[in-house]
Each structure stands twice: as structure tokens, then as C-alpha cells.
Structure 1
């Protein structure tokens, strides 16, 4: 970016030299595939901590030509959030892919629509009008409450240090790009759907001390796509908003029922979704941009992330296996780096699997222990959802997850 005559930062048009953006790393030779897994995770952490150069466009492609335990090679796309949000980047990636089994057939996606279906007429106009007025009053009350909570969270309300949140400091903004470990967990999408159908929600975190989650939301308001060719070209850019969700807690860990925590969290999420705060927060960001320029919106977003314990965002992938440049894609995922949080979560569904990726601050969170706790926590939730959950069963799991 370059300042214009009025001192406002503007994008500067430059030429692109592909060789400046394609990077092929060199790893030690003679290692096992399992050893290459560790080198790959370390490499991801290193490039995630490294800031972009201001002398070239803010994107890179890294080709790791070494086999891991599951794949013969890995391609990494690194893009600055200044260019667009995750929806934009993943849409471009999908456009570059074809179906592995039928290259002439486009990829298809689960049906997802943000357009509410019309409810059938119940024949009673008075009752229908009363319900609408009551619903509008509830939405207005929810909007006022959530807006005040969001303003406090963006400005002064901050989570306390915990086992997954390191102590904040005045210099944290300088240390945004802190070294981190990255791990992924693959869950059966069918099992996740079973729990979601039974409970109406699935929580990615349970049995954690008091904390707030910053949930990133896609604000593109139009009917969802089921075909890769239906992705609109104007979907590019940053069209996301954020929502703060406090996780419920329990004073007695020994008697915790995970279903109670999930139900409480779902109720809180439903109240926030039944409001107009998304559009108001978007207006706040626009106002910050208009009054203080890029620095204003940067400070506002930074404060939002800094005051919450963790970040969660998710994307939906195709139902079929993809092929990139005629090479079958065994799996893919994404993560966000450069945020002032000790732990973040991203998830993507693809080929009937849910890939959950966790980035954890090095030298602060025991990544292996945390991942094992996540695996056991999901099993705990699944068992509780489909069996009679005894109060004291699995206490060791609960203690370790806590």
C-alpha cells in the first residue's frame, strides 16, 4: 500500500513475477514419512509466523515435494487477509479443481441456504400477527443486549488468562506472529451429524474454564450453492463479521454432563442469531474505516481477537474427492495465523469427513495432550448423546479435558 496526496493508504498496482511467489523448500534427506510429518508442521508454523514482504503482492505458493505419512507431496497457499476472507480463497481453490472420478462433471456441495423457507399459513391471522410481533420484540431485545455485549468485548471486556490463554501484555501486538504448533483431527461427518441431529448443535470445546469464543461468520446474503459453477464472481473480498459466544461453565467438574453445556451454548447462540447485530457490527467496522482509515479497522479487529480466548471459523467443502491439476486431493484444510490468541480452531467438511485444525502457542499449550483430550471429549459427547450418561462415568476424561 502507498499513501496518496491526502495521506490515505491506497493499493498500488504492481507487476507479478510468478517466480517470486513460488517457493520450493528443502528438507533433510533420508527421513521416514513420520519424520517428514513433523518437518511439515514446523514448516507451516515458520511460514505462518513470517510476515509478507511489502515489495510484492501478498500471496505465496509453497510446493513441498516430500512424502508425509498420508500423501506424496503437499501444496500450501499463503494469502493475506487483506486480499479477501476464507470464503474468497477457498472459492478460487475450488474453481481450480475438478472431480477426481469424473473430470467433466463439476463438484457438488451440500445444500446450504441463508434464505428462510416460507412457513405454511396456519389459517389464523390474529395468532400469526401476534407471533410476528412477539418475535420482532424478542429480536429487538436480543439485538440491544448482543450489541452492548459486543461493544464491551471489542473495547474493554477481556477474558482472563487460563490453561489455553497466555497472559496478555502491552507488547502483545508486536508479538502477533508467535510460534505455534498445528495439529489436525479428522472426524466422521456422519457421527457429527448424528450428534447434531439429536442435540441440535455440536460444540468443538467442552469442559473448559470460563472463556469467550470469537466466531467468524460469512455475511454474503444469498442462496447457497450446490454446484461449483454457481459460485458468484462478486463473492470475492472480505464479507465476514464476528460474534462473541461465552461458553457455559460448571462449578462441579465431577458432575458435569456435556449435554447440559452444549444445550446452554446452543441457547446462547440461538439468541445471538435471532438478532440484527451482524449488520450493526458490519456498520461499526465501516464507520471505523471511514473515520480512522485502515488503522481504525485494524485496531478494532485486533482488539476483538485479543479480548477473546479463541477463534473459530468453518467452511464447507465438496462431497466428492477433488483433483488439483489432475492430482487427486486426499485432504485439505486451512488455518489463520497472526492473531493474538494462544489457540484457534478452523474446520472444513469434505468427502464425508470433518477436518478440525487446531493451532496452539508453542511452549504454552501441550499440543499432544490437548489433541488427545479433544478426541476423548468428542467420544464423551457422542456417548452421552446416545446412551444414558451416568454422572460419574469417565471422570478421568473430564479432569484431563478441564
Structure 2
């Protein structure tokens, strides 16, 4: 009997084991707001008939063997334990909007709110009063690309209910095709890789960002959180992108972050910081061959380059403080130059493979300590996942927005952007004792995009 049980068990991936460690445990919280009241029976029916309950990770318990090593063990899913219905409003204050109430709920979930381990590590909260579904899933089950692909497999296109949402690619931070025959290009690849690998080592040991009004540190992951949303029109981002030759949406995003953080720091500590001060972010980069969302059948079949799970590397992405924000376009140019060098290097694949090696040789606990130190020595976390290009429905109910955040980290700022039907929502999770007014920070980001757009018009006209 014990042998039969062992045969049914499947070991966790190294990345999955990392996300179960106390210091780095991560739960992804996705908010899906719909236009009409939620039909609980329809939601349950959609889940029962979806590919989700056929996926082994979504119908397996996380168990530990006698040596303390974690495994997945197949179990029967009781849908009533996973779908949690809440009829009462999240707040008694009628002046608080649905969006703010849901953001407050997500902020509370981000701190010390683990998923029960006596059932598969996911659940869906139906906030009936706010017409919002909150999909909670442990990061050990998969990364943002895998989980977004899974989530959208349960949805349909609003303009054609017979079709699944379009899962197009995106110009992401993954490595571009390289012309290895060019000796100069090869030399730059080697040089940038060596420089960035050395920085990784220094970040683990001693190198730390200068303390500012947005800095976190060890223990900050346990502090209470607040959550605000910055909204961007993708057309505005594309208009800015066209102002700089070869720029991408990710370049624009980091230009916005650099400019917005500079504006916010000017508000909180005017003239207190040196020009060009480096503020370092930690970003996750998709290492699959195909960028963007994935064909779920390929993910589940484990095809080379598109397998299910956590297939991402880590990048250290610096932005720089500048007090003179009269022309925001230089923020974009600096961001593009930095990201071009990062894409040319092998930093992402190196971080993934060295992490795998450390996990294999020294175990998950040691690997989590190294990752924790990197986070403590930087300033913010950011991710960017492409969502559906068109309007979608969930159980025949039109979706208003998709937003994602995660468990808190030692950073005082954690940002996750998801695009959906022409909009991009940036969820800004902050430690409220450090950043008490995240809506001001969100406004700084939104204003930065608008100022870049106006400057781009002027550049094009001239």
C-alpha cells in the first residue's frame, strides 16, 4: 500500500519547493471583476467542466515524506471547500468604492494568509456584494504565465462565446534572437553576463540600495499592506513607445516607473537625494521559447520550452532618480538602454540555472536565504503579464478588469501589471507604515505616462 502511494506521488520542482519556504512563500491573488451579479452555480459548473480539475497540480495535496521532502499526491477535489462565497460587503462605509474595498481585501490577504494544506493549494472567493471573484493560487503550482493561461481556459470571448480568449505574444523581457556569428555581439553577451552575474553575487553578500522613502528591508514582509491601482491605456503606451526608435512596452513601463518614483521621492523628500541615485528592482523574466500566454495543452503535455510550472529567471533592473522632470522622455531612453543590455545578457537563464543548482546541492532553505537577501538589498519587485486582447466573459458574465497581486515581500513596493482589452492595470502593494499614501504613488505613475505622451507628440511634431 505504501509503495502504491509512493508511485502516485510526484516531487515538487525546485522552484515550487522554494515558494514553500517561510521567507519566500508566495500566493498569487487575482481579482476578476464582472459587470453583473455573480451566479454561484454557473461558476461552479464552469470550474467542474474546465481543464483546471483535470490538471494534476490542481487536484493534488502537498505532502512531506519522512525526510521532509515535499511531494504532490493526487486527491479528490471537494469544490465546496474551494469556492468560498461571501455575501456581506467588505466594508460598512458606503463611501468606499467596490474597487477600493477589493484592494483592501487583497492587501489583507497578502500578509500572513496561507492556503490550507489539507486541500489542493487554490481557492476562489466570490465577493457577491462587489461582483468580484478572487482566485488565490500558491506560486508552487506555477508562474504567472502558466496560471494566467489556466485562468483564461475557463473564460470565453465576449464577442464570440464559442471561442477562447486570444493568447497572443508580447515583447517581453525574454532574450531576443541573437546573431551569434557577430563577434562583437558575442563579446557584449559575455561581458554583460559577467557584469550582471557579479552583481548578483554582490547583492547576496553586501551590495544594497541607498535607503530612501520607499525602502523596505528584513521583516517588512510582515508589516500591514495597502494596495492601489494605476491604470494605463495601451494606446498611450504605444504612442510613447513610437517616440523612441526600437522601444517596447516594457521600456515604456520602466520609464514610467523611473519617472514616477522620482516624482514621488520629490514629494516625500525634496532635494534630499543625489541626482542619478540608483533604485533597483527585481523582475521575473519568462524563459519559455514562446513569449506571452501559452497553449494550455502544450503546457500540460510538457513540450520542450513550454512546460507547465515555474519557468522564469530573475533580473535586477535599475532605475535612476532625477529631480528635473520637465522632459520625461529621457527616463524612457535610459530605461531602453538598460533593458537592451539586460536582454543581450544571459542573466535570466543564469539566475534560473544557478538557482536550480543551489537547490539541488544545498536544499530549498539555503536557496530561500539567498533569494531573501537579494530582495532585502533591492527596493521593489515588478512583473508584467500579458492578458487577453479582447473582452472576455466568466460563466457568461462580462469581465470588467483583471488584476493581480501576491504575498508581501521585504520590499516596501511590489508591482504587478496585467493588460486586458486595451488597458493595463498596475497593482501597487505597499507597506503602509513606509508608504501611507499609495494612491499618490499610483497618480505619479499615471501622470508620468500622460506627460510622456504629450512630450512624444511634441517630438513627433518637431
Question: In structure 2, what is the Cα distance between the partners aligned to 1:283 and 1:334?
Answer: 27
Question: In structure 2, what is the Cα distance between the partners aligned to 1:111 and 1:346?
Answer: 18
Question: Structure 1 residues 202-211 or 56-65, which shifts more?
Answer: 202-211
- 2:321 maps to 249
Question: In structure 1, what is the Cα distance between the partners aligned to 2:105 and 2:227?
Answer: 10
Select which of 260, 274, 283 maps to 2:353. Answer: 283
**Preserved CA contact (<8 Å) 1:206 1:377:** no
Question: In structure 1, what is the Cα distance between the partners aligned to 2:335 and 2:175?
Answer: 24
Select which of 331, 335, 352 maps to 1:265. Answer: 335
Which structure is higher in RCO with an 8 Å CA cutoff and minimum separation 6?
2
Question: In structure 1, what is the Cα distance between the partners aligned to 2:381 and 2:400?
Answer: 26
1:155 to partner: Cα distance:
3.3
1:118 to partner: Cα distance:
9.6
Map 1:367-386 onto structure 2 (within 5 A).
367-386=438-457
Select which of 12, 37, 51 maps to 2:114. Answer: 51
- 1:27 maps to 89
**Preserved CA contact (<8 Å) 2:292 2:386:** no
SS of the equivalent of 1:247 reads: strand
- 2:23 maps to none
TM-score (normalizing by structure 2) = 0.72
Structure 1 unaligned residues grouped into runs of 5+: 68-72, 120-127, 390-402
SS of the equivalent of 1:165 reads: coil
1:248 to partner: Cα distance:
2.5
Map 1:134-173 onto structure 2 (within 5 A).
134-166=184-216, 168-169=217-218, 172=219
Computed over aligned residues only, the root mean square deviation of the Cα atoms, in angstroms, reads: 2.8
Going from structure 1 to structure 2, the CA distance change for 1:236 and 1:158 (only over 3 Å counts) comes to same
Please give the per-residue CA displacement for 1:239-298, whole angstroms capped at 9, x wherever unaligned: 111100111233xx2476322232122212111211122222111111111122221232
How many residue pairs were aligned?
366
Question: Structure 1 residues 183-192 or 53-62, which shifts more?
Answer: 53-62
**Preserved CA contact (<8 Å) 1:48 1:177:** no
Structure 2 unaligned residues grouped into runs of 5+: 1-61, 263-276
1:149 to partner: Cα distance:
1.1
Map 1:2-401 onto structure 2 (within 5 A).
2-25=63-86, 26-27=88-89, 32=94, 34-49=96-111, 50-67=113-130, 73-112=131-170, 132-166=182-216, 168-169=217-218, 172=219, 176-199=221-244, 200=247, 201-202=251-252, 203-207=255-259, 208=262, 210-222=278-290, 232-233=299-300, 234=302, 235-250=307-322, 253-254=323-324, 257-365=327-435, 366-387=437-458
Going from structure 1 to structure 2, the CA distance change for 1:99 and 1:147 (only over 3 Å counts) comes to same
Please give the per-residue CA displacement for 1:133-188, whole angstroms capped at 9, x wherever unaligned: 1111111111111111122123322223211114x34xx1xx52432111112211
**Preserved CA contact (<8 Å) 1:285 1:300:** no
1:39 to partner: Cα distance:
2.8
Question: In structure 2, what is the Cα distance between the partners aligned to 1:29 and 1:180?
Answer: 17
Q: Which has the higher strand share?
A: 2
SS of the equivalent of 2:159 reads: coil
Give every structure 1 segment of 4 or more consecutive aligned residues whose post-TM-superposition deviation is greater than 6 Å.
none
1:7 to partner: Cα distance:
4.3
SS of the equivalent of 1:164 reads: coil
